[in-house]
Amino acid sequence: MLDTIKKFLKEHDIDEKAGFIITVSGGADSITLLHAFKYLNLRIHALHCNFNLRGKESNMDEQFVKRFCETYGIPMSVKRFETREYAQKKGISIEMAARELRYAWFEEMRLKKKMDYIVVGHHADDLAETLFINICRGTGIKGLTGIRPVKDKILRPLLSRSREEIIAYIEQNQLGYRTDSTNNSLDYVRNKIRHLIIPVCKEINPSFLNTVQENCNTLKEVEQIYKYGIDCLKANIVSEENGEILIDIQKTMASPAPYTFLFEFLRPYGFNATQIEDILHSNEAIPGKQFEAGEYLLTKGRVYWRLFNILEKEEERTLLADSGEYHLDDYTFTLGEQEIDNSFQVPQDSEIGCFDLDKITYPLVLRHWSTGDWFCPLGMKRSKKKLSDLFTDLKFSAKQKKECLILQSGKDIIWVVGHRIDDRYKVSPATKRVLTVKRDTK
């Protein structure tokens, strides 16, 4: 076991003078880690989490770890968590809550104690179990590569050793360890795999754990080739324009693996496998079909699938109480008032709106458009038109719709900024005073 850890540190170019946070549950794997790192005279600090999930048993685990660290002169810290309350508050499983809590604390303590790495006790059996869990739940190629021996500041030096070898080390050094009674319960997916599936696999192939490791190592290199292929496709298929990500539909469909490319590209944005299948099948649909995932919206156009962030902006608004400068999003709006005569010419600039000031009610409201908004477009003689219909006429993308600003006087929309003013507020021969509103980029 000592040679395994020394070899691990050397292979991953980790300085033996570094500081190591050792995470210790009290189980055989974590006690083995703690003892071996102490025996190798490495700089360590032990951490134990008490999740308060098993009553007296949890407290007995804590006391065991404390006594062990006292016996070997190992500095250690304990933290107790109200795991059930946290899980309920976050709306997640107990297992996920415990994971979030412990890793957040591990990193906090790593920084506080000025340590370099967090060391956890995952071993070869954990690797095989995780692989089966990923297969059962569905996974891409990355999920077939198993557990990473090094991920950021987290080290897993025992991945090459089996549970049997770890128990043998414990017995050889007469260390003692704690057993979590829930490990025998078949209510948990991992335990079903551990107790029902892995033994059968070992019966079929006595070297099953070694075979899993070899396959995972091979698949890690396959994953690199795979990622290289995806990146090459991305360079040819994907582009950006005005904050939108454009995915060329024709090039995607002509690629060797359209679904796989879309799956790998869109999954980080929150789209699931079913949505990605639907997106792929929309390639011949009429433009306008939309797919939403959290903050992101993907729309089907004639040439591209367009992807962009749709963080809600409806609540953002600015009150324009008088002439002067105002700001919203990345724009500056300048209001000016003037008296005019018959020689006045309305500027032919889409970024300037001109209105009959005597019909205006202050304060004006500058905001993003909302569903149901309507106005009377210039030239339509008080005929109502929904903004959604105007956007269709103008062939707006979903992103353009989301970013569109409107200027409002009282309950009336007087300007779809940059596009149309309302006919009821236009400058006419009877107008004596004009309000001009100019939009500039900050």
Residue set of the binding site: 25-30
| Residue labelled with tokens 């690199």 | 224
Cβ-proximal residues to 255 (8 Å cutoff; 6+ apart), any chain: 233, 237, 261
Q: How many residues does the structure list for the chain?
A: 442
Cβ-proximal residues to 408 (8 Å cutoff; 6+ apart), any chain: 364, 365, 366, 367, 414
The answer to whether residues 34 and 74 touch, using CB atoms and an 8 Å cutoff, is yes
DSSP state of 286: P
Q: Cα–Cα distance between 346 and 326 in angstroms, integer?
A: 22
Quote the tokens at residue 110. 């790593």
Q: Which residues are annotated as a binding site for ATP?
A: 25-30
The answer to whether residues 382 and 353 touch, using CB atoms and an 8 Å cutoff, is no
C-alpha dist (Å) from residue 408 to 30, 291, 321, 356, 388: 65, 31, 12, 14, 17
Q: How far apart are the first and last CA of the chain?
A: 63
Q: Cα–Cα distance between 8 and 121 in angstroms, integer?
A: 13
Q: Cα–Cα distance between 237 and 257 in angstroms, integer?
A: 13
The answer to whether residues 79 and 44 touch, using CB atoms and an 8 Å cutoff, is no
The answer to whether residues 401 and 370 touch, using CB atoms and an 8 Å cutoff, is no
